[in-house]
Every structure is written in C-alpha cells, then in structure tokens.
C-alpha cells in the first residue's frame, strides 16, 4: 500500500501510529486495526466513521503550499492544481478504502462511534463534521478536490483553522477547554462592551483599530468581555493567544509565527500590572510601538488590569526618588499605558444595578423565587463576599442554585 508517495501532502501519513494502522489494513488484521483506531480516537477526538474521521482530521490540519495559499485567499495556478490532484487521487482512494474485513462485534464501533467527549469548541467540531460528510459524498477525485478547496478557502488550515484560543508553552498550542459565554451573557457593562465590539469589528474589517486596555474594579466583567469576543467573532476569523508577562520576551517569536496567517489575532494579557522593579514591560512597549519592526496589521493587544497606570508608583518614590530627572522617570512609567489607544473603564455597579444583574442571572438559571427574598439574600451575600459586582452576583446565583438542587 503506497501511502507515502505524495507531493504536497508528503508526510501526512508518516507518523508511526498512522503507518501501523495502514499495515493492519493491508494485512486485514482486524484486532490490531480496531485497537489502533480506538487509540487514535482518544488522541484526535474522532466520531462517527472513525477511519474517515481520522483522514478528515489529518487533511484539515495539514499545512502545505495548497492549503496555506487558499487560507490566504490566493489563486491556485493550473500547474499546482494538477500537482494537488495527483495527491488527491491517492487520498480519495485511501478515504474510500475497503474495510469489509471489519466484522461484528467491531463494525458498529468502527463505523458508527458515538463520541463521549465533552464539547468545548462546538464551531470547530461542526466544521470538521461537515467536511467529513462532504468528503464522504464525493463520487470522484475532482469533487474531492473541490470540497477541500472550499474548506481551506473559507476556514483555513491547521492549528489556527479549527481552534479559537491558544497559549504559549515552548510554542503556540491550542486551548481545548473554552467557556461558552457570549456578550449577551454579560450584564451591567453594555457601554463598555459596545466600545470593545466597535474596535474589534473595525479590526476584523481591516479598518483602523487600536490596542485596548480594560481597567477598573475587580469582578466587573473585564476578562469576561474579552473572552466573550471569541465566541462572538470566531467564524469571522478572530483568534486569541493568551500570554503572561514572564513570556513577553517571546513576543517577537509569537508575532513572527502568526503574522502571515489569514486570521486576526488578539494577544490577550489578563490582570496586567508591574511592580517598580519588573522590567518585562519594556518588551511589551517595543512590540506595541517603538521597535524597528512594525507590528503586523493582523495583530492587536488586549489587556485587563485593576489599575489604569500599569507600572506601580509609590509615594516614597515621589518623595525620595534618586532619579535626577524625576519627570523623565514618570513619563517612562506612563508610556506603556499610552500605547493602548482605547482605554475602557469598568466600575462596580450601584445597588440597583447589582440587583438587576442578580435578576438576569436568576432568570437564565431558572431560579424561581420571590424577588424580594432574592434581593434580600443577594444583598446579604455581597456584604460577606466582596461587595457589589457582577462576579459577586454570579457567585451568589451559583450558590443559590446549588443549594436549591440539593434540597430537591
């Protein structure tokens, strides 16, 4: 079985575990085939027809001159198309390979597997499922080619094509477990999220947009607002990479890796602040604005902080600072925040606004209780648990819902 004789898709089936699977097919070794396929099911989160689900996954993640060109919305030359179709002939045959040697009791597992995975990226899983179903319906190589062409063109390819959020750990890697909260779930910060969405939509539409700093009181929805953008704009090409200040030295490497991809990336920095002795902010300043290398147009930085002036300044510094040019020292510390063109303040709600948030969360969680009693309990809760804030309201509703479930 010649599974490695590809041109653009060279290497797609070269992993040992994939090779072993095809050896089992060639030998019609039913037991080893099923065992190896189930192991791959755990790794790649396969479902339905496990074999075709695996091939679909490998095709969706394979970055090559064809898939990357289509991600960037570039035209494919006739010569490249002929080369790709050479590969497609082989892949089409592999996709529809004869698996009739699989008998009961294994056939239902192999061809109709019911996934037990908890869904964390419904959109990505739906895209993969649709691709698999479309490939399955293809009657020839040309149709197979067209389906993949359209998939790469509309959704891109690889790690960034099917995932929303990422972190940096010796390289960019996907975050699998992402909350499903949306902007509609946020209560009490409508004006702030409106400004945030306006800037983000301009960014997605290739219009001038700014780096954003959300600052202010804790528990008021700063981080939740940014995270909700992912679920709102993922299908519009938005991706998010979360990094921490000790990783700022890697920012040039991260930017280099994503600057030529056809997505809009927000580099997300949560709870950003610096002590006076920390110098990581200098890396951030250079990346945002000030270094020789221009920040690419497909990247913005969104940060949250409990304080507007990100670098700590003390009264003792003002009184006893050994810096001769004190004003220069102050400007150095203020220069970071000035690089965020949009600065949005979040503040604690007033009591009525807090109770409105409680009412909204209670309705969404199907909590049926007299409003006066609900408000009384909510006010008692906030006095003991951090004051008036959206976070406190959510924690109160979660506690109340848990207690009600225990009593039923």
DSSP states of 191-237: HHHHHHHHHHHHHHTTS----EEEEESTTSSHHHHHHHHHHHHGGGT
183-346: CATH homologous superfamily?
A: P-loop containing nucleotide triphosphate hydrolases (3.40.50.300)
Confidence at residue 328, expressed as pLDDT on a 0 to 100 scale = 47
Alpha helix stretches (DSSP H) within 259-389:
281-288, 315-320, 326-334, 351-364, 371-384
According to the model, what pLDDT value does residue 267 have?
95
End-to-end CA distance of the chain: 60
Q: What share of the chain is helix, strand, coil (3-state, %, to 5)?
A: 55, 10, 35
- Those residues of the chain that have pLDDT short of 70 are 1-4, 119-120, 275-281, 289-294, 308-335, 404-408
Buried b (16+ CB within 10 A) or exposed e, 174-210: ebeebeeeebebbbbbeebbeebbebbbebeeeeebb
- Phi first, then psi: what are they for 214, rounded to 5°? -100, 120
* Of 293, 281, 205, residue with least CA distance to 255: 293
d(CA 70, CA 76): 8
CA distances from 269 to 222, 226, 247, 291 (A): 11, 10, 10, 20
Predicted local confidence at residue 325, as pLDDT:
41
- Rounded to a whole number of angstroms, the CA Rg of the chain reads 26
* Contact predicate 146/70, CB 8 Å: no
Instruction: Give exposure, 212-250, as e/b (b: 16+ Cβ within 10 Å).
Output: bbbbbbbbbbbbbbbbbbbbbbbeebbbbbbbebebbee
Q: Where are the domains of the chain?
A: 16-162, 183-346, 351-407
């Amino acid at each position: 079985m010649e599974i490695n004789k590809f041109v653009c898709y060279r290497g797609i089936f070269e992993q040992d575990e994939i090779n072993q699977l095809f050896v089992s097919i060639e030998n019609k070794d039913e037991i080893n085939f099923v065992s190896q396929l189930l192991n791959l099911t755990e790794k790649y989160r396969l479902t339905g027809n496990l074999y075709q689900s695996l091939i679909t996954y490998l095709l969706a993640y394979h970055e090559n001159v064809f898939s990357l060109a289509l991600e960037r919305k570039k035209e494919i030359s006739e010569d490249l198309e002929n080369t790709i179709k050479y590969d497609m002939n082989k892949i089409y045959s592999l996709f529809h390979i004869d698996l009739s040697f699989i008998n009961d009791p294994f056939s239902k597992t192999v061809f109709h597997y019911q996934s037990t995975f908890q869904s964390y990226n419904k959109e990505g899983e739906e895209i993969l499922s649709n691709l698999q179903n479309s490939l399955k319906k293809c009657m020839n190589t040309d149709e197979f080619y067209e389906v993949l062409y359209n998939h790469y063109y509309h959704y891109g390819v690889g790690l960034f094509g099917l995932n929303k959020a990422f972190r940096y750990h010796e390289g960019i890697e996907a975050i699998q477990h992402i909350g499903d909260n949306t902007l509609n779930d946020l209560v009490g910060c409508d004006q702030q999220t409106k400004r945030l969405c306006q800037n983000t939509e301009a960014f997605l539409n290739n219009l001038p947009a700014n780096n954003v700093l959300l600052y202010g009181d804790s528990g008021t929805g700063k981080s939740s607002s940014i995270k909700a953008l992912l679920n709102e704009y993922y299908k519009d090409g938005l991706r998010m990479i979360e990094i921490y200040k000790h990783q700022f030295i890697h920012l040039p490497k991260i930017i280099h890796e994503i600057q030529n991809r056809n997505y809009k990336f927000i580099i997300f920095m949560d709870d950003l602040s610096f002590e006076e002795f920390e110098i990581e902010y200098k890396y951030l300043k250079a990346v945002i604005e000030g270094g020789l290398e221009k920040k690419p147009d497909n990247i913005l930085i969104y940060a949250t902080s409990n304080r507007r002036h990100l670098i700590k300044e003390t009264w003792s510094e003002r009184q006893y600072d050994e810096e001769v040019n004190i004003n220069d020292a102050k400007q150095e510390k203020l220069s970071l925040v000035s690089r965020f063109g949009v600065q949005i303040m979040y503040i604690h709600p007033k009591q009525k606004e807090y109770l409105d948030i409680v009412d909204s969360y209670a309705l969404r969680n199907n909590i049926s209780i007299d409003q006066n009693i609900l408000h009384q309990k909510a006010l008692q809760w906030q006095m003991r648990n951090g004051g008036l804030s959206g976070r406190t309201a959510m924690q109160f509703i979660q506690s109340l819902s848990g207690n009600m479930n225990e009593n039923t």
